[in-house]
Amino acid sequence: MLRTMRLENLCPTVRLDRWPVLPEKNEAKLEEHEVRSMRLYCAVAMGDIVELASVLRRSYVDVDVFYSLSGELKWQAMPETSFGPSGLWSLEYKRELTSPLCIAAAQGFSDCLQYLLEHGARPNLVAGGRTALHEACLNSTTDCAEILLEYGANPNQCTEDGLSPLHLCKTEQSLRCAKLLVRYGADVNRMSEEEEESPLQVAAKLGLQQHVQLYLRYGAQANHQNSTGETALCAACGGARGDLEEEQEENYLKVCRFLFEYGANVNKVDKERRSPLHKAARNAQYRLVELLVERGAEINTPDYNGCSPLSNALQTAEVHHKSRPHAMVQMLLNHGSIKVWPGALLKVLSSCASTPKTVEVMFNSYDTVPVTYKWFDAIPEEAYKANPAFYASLFALENNVRCLQHHCRSALRKHFGKDCHALIPRLPIPNLLKSYLLLDPEGVVY
């Protein structure tokens, strides 16, 4: 019969994030079998195989004993009374259960883990909503995962939150665990209970390109949609956030390329009608946007809110100013993106003021746009001071017309349409003129 132990400060040298809970009786009065269980806990928590062997050799101890740990502080409603609900709340520790097997697996104590299994510990025992195999995968302790699988651990068993061991392989270090799991029959298409996510989608969101390649080789469905309608390709483009390091950026590109090799649909949208291109543009991921466009992404499809990928790029340009959002806006325009309604340029100006190159690219994509005093009021003072030359040239166009050279550019771009990116580089003209026609920013407008 399984028992739950509540204990505290049993071994002062043990250093864990959470300590077992203090019993409501004096330690001196604890029964002998409880003292043995305490020794078992300390031995496993410290990875002391000698002490563990001593405890299990000298006397009977239930190796499947549960220990109650104090987790995070959480507000709990006070119990009802005979007069009805108390209406009071108290700050209490959330109780979590663990077992010797889970502790050993999480800490990577493979010797202790194997010794426990040899002495009857059950590999599929659930403690605190997870098995020891879940703990091993979550902490990337590959040796422990291999031992558990050899002793019959279920590679498809889910946590109480509905996650399989493959869902918990979330780091590069967990790749060996993932390889072991699929070799032992883990289902690469098993969905999580709440979000209906596959392990492929979890790995794609985190940019784990080797995990993605592994799951695809073992039959993962590239176009599976989770509860929000998101595919693995959507997950990858949505997960590539912020200013990524070069290696991280390359990983996300490889993830997308692998998905395309296995038939990923570049235009499959989620329930908000957001495509992978919408998400990559919103995250200012130039190379991802470039790849998606090359693979046939539809540039002008609006999402549920009526926003195009270009609109998404403009909305977050200021946040991602270090990622050169103007280059992405320029690329989308050269591939035929529908421009923002001229009357909305004032809003674009105010939201992109700190990225003047983005403003310049957008402004130059129109033949004629009247500049008014309202434009001056829309620029924050700090943005104007940081880029005085550009904004001085912009406001100098108030009540003036653009130069003939610009009108010629507009005429050619209108003629080439969505093929600007392909046709302009083939023109027999100097490279400087090609750059001008492709809207390369110059720092001033005229």
How far apart are alpha carbons 32 and 51 in whole angstroms?
17
Q: Exposure string (b/e) for 404-419, b if CB count within 10 Å is 16 or more? A: eebeebbeebeebeee
Q: How do beta strands 4-5 and 89-98 pair?
A: unpaired
pLDDT value at residue 390: 93
Q: Number of helices and strands (H, E) in the chain? A: 23, 3
pLDDT value at residue 22: 37
Q: Are 272 and 279 in contact (CB under 8 A)?
A: no
Residue of 327, 321, 233, 319 lying closest to 277 (CA atoms): 233
Give residue 343's identity as a one-letter amino acid code: G
pLDDT value at residue 437: 97
Q: How do beta strands 4-5 and 66-77 pair?
A: parallel
Q: Are 97 and 128 in contact (CB under 8 A)?
A: yes
SS3 97: strand
pLDDT value at residue 162: 95
How far apart are alpha carbons 228 and 108 in whole angstroms?
36
Q: Are 340 and 310 in contact (CB under 8 A)?
A: yes
Give residue 265's identity as a one-letter amino acid code: N
Give residue 19's identity as a one-letter amino acid code: W
pLDDT value at residue 430: 95
Give residue 113's identity as a one-letter amino acid code: L
Q: How many Cα atoms within 13 Å fall on the side-chain side of residue 195? A: 12
pLDDT value at residue 20: 47
pLDDT value at residue 61: 63
What CATH number does the domain located at 1-73+93-170 have?
Answer: 1.25.40.20
- Would the pTM of this model clear 0.75, i.e. be above it? yes
Q: What is the dihedral of CA 402, 404, 409, 412, to 10 degrees?
A: 130
How far apart are alpha carbons 350 and 343 in whole angstroms?
13
Name residue 91's beta-bridge partners.
75
Q: What ranges do the domains of the chain cover? A: 1-73+93-170, 339-446
Q: Which residues of the chain have pLDDT under 50?
A: 1-29
The phi and psi torsions of 74 (rounded to 5 degrees) equal: -145, 140
Q: Are 175 and 169 in contact (CB under 8 A)?
A: yes
Q: Are 38 and 7 in contact (CB under 8 A)?
A: yes
pLDDT value at residue 174: 97
For the residues of 323-388, what is the DSSP string, one character each? G-HHHHHHHHHHTTPPPPPGGGHHHHHHHSTT-HHHHHHHHHTSS-----HHHHHHS-HHHHHHSH
Q: Where are the alpha helices (DSSP H) in 240-324?
A: 246-261, 276-282, 286-294, 309-315
